[in-house]
Each structure stands twice: as C-alpha cells, then as structure tokens.
Structure 1
Amino acid sequence: MFDLNALRLAAQTVHQTLAPTPQLAWPLLAERMGCTVWVKHENHTPTGAFKVRGGLLYVQGLLAREPHIKGLVTATRGNHGQSLALAARSLGLSIRIVVPEGNSLEKNAAMRALGATVIECGKDFDEARAEAAALAQTRQLHLVPAFHPDLIRGVATYALELLEAVEELDTVYVPIGMGSGICGLIQTRDLLGLKTEIVGVVSSQADAFAQSAEQGRLVCTDSANTFADGLACRQPLPEALEIIAKGAARVIRVTDQEIAHAIRVYHETTHNTAEGAGAAALAGLISEQSRQQSRRIALILSGANIDRQLYASILAEDCAPSAKS
C-alpha cells in the first residue's frame, strides 16, 4: 500500500493540522489487567476520533489529482463523516454526508457544525452507502469511499506514533469497522519490522469480519445491530479482508455488554470517555486477560463520540460480564 517514506510524509501532512496524540500507560488500568497497558488516545483528536487523519490526507490528495472537484459525498456512522467535513471545510469544498436513520444525534450535529449537509437514509450503514453512491451519480459529486489507500495511510500515522514511541509491544488490540485502522496498523508494523501481534476486535452483533477471517472467504451478515456504531459493518470489503487475513493474529468477538463494561473501566481507571468502538479494544483485552498476564499490551481508543444519554445510562450500570479464558 505504501512505504515508510510515504508514511512519514503523511505524518508531516497530518501534523500540520493536529498534534500527535499521546500513548499513556495508566497504572490503575495495568493493575486491573495484570499487564502493562498503553492506551493510544485517538479520542484526543480535533474530531474526537482517529478518522480525521485519513480524511485530511484523502481530500488533499484528491484536490491534487482532480483540482476542479466542487463537492463530495460519503456515507458514515459519524467519525468518517466528521473527518471529511473538517477537511472539506478547510479546503473550500461542499460535502453531503449520508447517515442511517436514527444515527447518533450528537455525531450528526457535529458534522453539521463542520458545514456538512447531513442526509438520513436507510436502516444501516450499508444502505446509507448505497444512497451516497446514488447521490454521487445524480449530483455529479465525488464519492468518498470508506476504504482507500490514502485513508489507510492517513490513519496509519497513529500506528507510526505508537509503535515508535513504545518499544517491544507484545500485542495491540484494535477495533474493526470497515478496516482502515487495523490495516494501517498491520502495514506500519510490517514496515518497522516488528513482531507485535495485532488482534482485531468486532462486535458479536456485527461479526462479518470475524466470520470472513475464520472461513477464508467474504461473508456478509443480515444485520449489524450493535450500539457500537463504529463496528456496525455487515458487508466487509475484500481489500480490507485480504490484509487482515494475512497480518492479524486473530479477529475476536466481544458482546455489547462487554463493550459497555469496557467503557466503564476506561472511565474508572483513566477518566477518559470512550464510544462503543473506542472501548472495543479494551473489551478484547479483558476477554483475553488470562493469556496476556505480565505482557506489554497497547489498546487503540479510537474515539470518544458517544451521545450523552447513552453514556450516562452505561455508566449507571454496575454489572460486569464474566471473563473468558
């Protein structure tokens, strides 16, 4: 996809707009997990999620290739859309963003505040994606995909920051939505010549990538009904699956209950806010806690964009799921 020089150039571009995010080892979290745990805080970006890195690089590259582009359209559950809205506004482009009906009110509001026209259509992300493709045709807009080499190279800059800052990591847990984050992490790990294992985490309610990795073929599901909207994929992309199948140690499932528990653990041990997808990596570590004792682990806290009422209801719950072996 890209070499190390291209990745470093991407980091220079991204860092013109946002500073590197911290990777912090939280003592209370380490005590609770029984291992050293570094958290990569992508919840600290200007849009509250890692996607902003890819959006900035993608739109700049697009204008260099096609300088007469007037408008963009894309589909999202929120973080991808915010990243593109910020990039489009900074470069004077209009953007239409299609979200599923009933999408996060606060994510919708954030995209509108960045100048985007938000359109609600479809029962889930994949139906919203089809509507975005139709709008691209009828309105003669550039359709921004969910997975593209520039998006991957952009988000891979968080992996470069993490893997160069923290030595000898045994395992990194990373959530999987459409795959740009984990694919960028795999490529960066390989470019740096590291042996760190990478574990992808999906929701058990949206496990198309897990099924696909296990069966060695593309598997689509009928639904992706998880409150962790950043994980709500039911139609994996073959390009992403190929990279994950070759480069990830495994893809594991966590339940929505386990994700909610991880949100509470983040709050209790670090006082950071995590959205559902953002907490999935920690939920994955908790589910594999017994196999990671005394090791060096990193978690990708990919975003913090969770609606207040949902966050409050999760924090109010005291129940914890039983641990897996």
Structure 2
Amino acid sequence: MTRLDTARIRVARQRIDPAFLDTPLYRCEALERDLGCAVSIKLETANPVRSFKARGTEVVASALADSRASAVVCASAGNLGQALAWSGRGRGLDVTVVASRFAPAAKLDRIRALDARLELVDGDIETARDRAAAIARHDGIRLVEDSLDLETCEGAATIGLELVDAVPAFDAVLIALGGGALATGVGHVLKECAPGVEVICVQPLGAPAMTRSWHQRRVISTDSTDTIADGVAGRFPIPAVLNDLLLVADDAVLVQEASIIAGMRMLFERAGLIVEPSAALGVAAILEDPDRFAGRHVVTVVCGSNVDAASYRRWIGAES
C-alpha cells in the first residue's frame, strides 16, 4: 500500500500559500517542431522560491507553527532549503539548512537572504543529510527529510491535482526523479484520478540510483554521482519512497548530460525560460527518444530555475 492519500492531499492544498498554487500550464508550440509532439509546460518556477519545493515546506511549516514548534532543520541541495527558509520565516520558525559547500552559489546565497542559518559541509547531499540529522538530535528539533516526510510528497502532489483538471487532457507526464517526492506525489494523484496518463520519471545517467532501484524493484545505491543536475543527485534511495514509486511510475529513464544541456538551451531559445538542469530532464527525455512521444501530448514539469549565471551561460553557450 502507498503512504499517500488523495483526501489528505486535498486538505494539504489548503495549507499552502496561494503564491505557490495554480502555476501556469500552457501549450508551448515553439518547442513542438523540434520535439515532434505536442508539449505543455507546467511552470513550477513562477513563485517566490522558483521551484516546486515550497508546496511541501508550506505544509510542514504550517503544521509546526500549529504545534508551537520554534525551530526546524533540513539538508538540501539548494531548493528545499530556500523553500523551508521562506515558509519558516513567515511563521516565526528558526530554520537551519545544511548543504554541501559545492552546491550552486546562487542557491546558497538565496538561503542566506531568506534569513536561514546555513551550515556548509564537505561532501555531497548525503553528507549534508547526516549532519542535519545530528543537529536535529542534538537540539531536539524537527528534521525535515525530503521525500521521506509525507508532507513533502503530498505538497508536491498538489501539482497533480492541477494537472488532472487540465483541458485538453494529455497522454503522458515527464517528471524529474531525484529523491522521489515530486514523482510519487504527482504520480499518485494521476494514477488515482487520471489512470490513462503515462507517468514517466527522468533521471540523469550520472545519478541513476532511484531509476536503477525502480527497474530492479529494490534499493540500489551508488558510490558517487556525476551530473550537472544537482537537484536530483542523490545516492541512497529511501525504501519507503521507492515502494510508493513502484505503484505509480510507468517507466523510469536515464538521460545523458548532453541531452540535459540541449534541453536547457531549447527551453531558453524556444520558450524563453531559464531553467536549472533538473528542470530540463523532461525535454531531454523527448530528445533522446522522439519516436516514443511522436504524435502524443506530453506535459513536462519545469521544476526549478535556481541556477548560477556563470554556469548557465557556459552550459548553453550564451554570451557572457
């Protein structure tokens, strides 16, 4: 059985600041000639933290405020930290974010600007998770664990509620796959409310742990990651999240770095969108397997746009 519940997701929607709800969903004809299929974009960057993550942190922070909690800590590759800082600041919570010192500077700077305490660690997101857990134990405060905590999954799932109301209907949705909150949340709602829609998860070839786990139906970890898509670069899938994913994903695919960059460039040149690498995974999947999507109507969730300017210019070849 899944951990997620659609009735609870509908209740969660009432706890989320409207600034993060009803994000744009539109047919992007400018992409279609190159991609060979009808493409709609669900633009999860059109909000104060420029990613979908605040849908989950709003649910977390609202519940913490109701319980009169005063502090919270999380590990983050950047976007969850920004979101928790934003949601916590508005509810009087003392927010600590642990991140890798190698995380994109733009994400780290924004966390600081949102008044969170930022602690940097050597190593990757898994090292940051260990440190955040230690802080939570020492200080006796709530640890927010992205994808493991149901609030993060069910907050993200509110995107699915918005997709099922879309007119016209679509054939498939492409979802970036990292820890799994976005994929399991949106996938759960679609499979319950629009079961004919194909749910396809997309992950970089250089960070394949969750995709390999989905295919083998058991947790497969990796020793390292090698991808520019930092937001989905986990190494240790969470068993409970994998169980949820197995119930809702129709497929999980891996894409190459060159395709991610090509997707970022296409979204910029054709759609006028500046996105981080994780947000281009859906377009990358179409580029790598156009025959699969030919003649279909596909939605891709553009999940974040927090990217360092210098790195972005280098990747897409823009003038500095």
Q: Compute the displacement of 1:114 (Å).
A: 0.7
Unaligned runs of 5+ in 2: none
Choose from 33, 41, 44 the match for 2:43: 41
Equivalent-residue separation in structure 2 for 1:193 and 1:107 (angstroms): 35
Structure 2 residue aligned with 1:52: 54
- Are positions 1:152 and 2:153 aligned together? yes
Structure 2 residue aligned with 1:11: 13
1:252-282: per-residue Cα shift (whole Å, max 9, x none)? 0011121111000101110101101111111
Q: Compute the displacement of 1:85 (Å).
A: 0.4
Structure 1 residue aligned with 2:237: 236
Structure 2 residue aligned with 1:102: 102
Structure 1 residue aligned with 2:205: 204
| TM, length-normalised to structure 1 | 0.93
Q: Compute the displacement of 1:134 (Å).
A: 0.8
Structure 1 residue aligned with 2:216: 215
**Gap change, CA 1:130 and 1:72, over 3 Å in 2:** same
Matches within 5 A, 1:306-325: 306-316=307-317
Matches within 5 A, 1:57-72: 57-64=59-66, 66-67=67-68, 69-72=69-72
1:294 partner SS: coil
Q: Compute the displacement of 1:19 (Å).
A: 4.2
Q: Compute the displacement of 1:50 (Å).
A: 0.4
1:143-191: per-residue Cα shift (whole Å, max 9, x none)? 1111211111111111211221244321111001110000011111123
Q: Compute the displacement of 1:14 (Å).
A: 1.8
Equivalent-residue separation in structure 1 for 2:20 and 2:259 (angstroms): 32
Equivalent-residue separation in structure 2 for 1:19 and 1:183 (angstroms): 18
Contact persistence 1:23–1:38 (CA under 8 A):
yes
2:26 partner SS: strand
State the AA in 2 paired with 1:87.
S
Structure 2 residue aligned with 1:321: none
Equivalent-residue separation in structure 2 for 1:171 and 1:15 (angstroms): 28
State the AA in 1 paired with 2:28.
W
Q: Compute the displacement of 1:15 (Å).
A: 4.4
1:150 partner SS: helix
Matches within 5 A, 1:239-278: 239-278=240-279
Equivalent-residue separation in structure 2 for 1:92 and 1:160 (angstroms): 29
State the AA in 2 paired with 1:149.
L
Matches within 5 A, 1:173-188: 173-188=174-189
Which range is displaced more, 89-98 or 30-39? 30-39
Q: Compute the displacement of 1:239 (Å).
A: 1.3
Aligned length: 316
State the AA in 1 paired with 2:104.
S
Structure 1 residue aligned with 2:84: 84
2:88 partner SS: helix
Equivalent-residue separation in structure 2 for 1:95 and 1:247 (angstroms): 33
Over the matched positions of the two proteins, sequence identity in percent amounts to: 29
Unaligned runs of 5+ in 1: 318-325
1:207-262: per-residue Cα shift (whole Å, max 9, x none)? 00111112221010000121111111100011111121221111100111211110
Contact persistence 1:3–1:191 (CA under 8 A):
no
Which range is displaced more, 15-24 or 283-292? 15-24
1:13 partner SS: coil
State the AA in 1 paired with 2:99.
V
Equivalent-residue separation in structure 1 for 2:5 and 2:216 (angstroms): 30
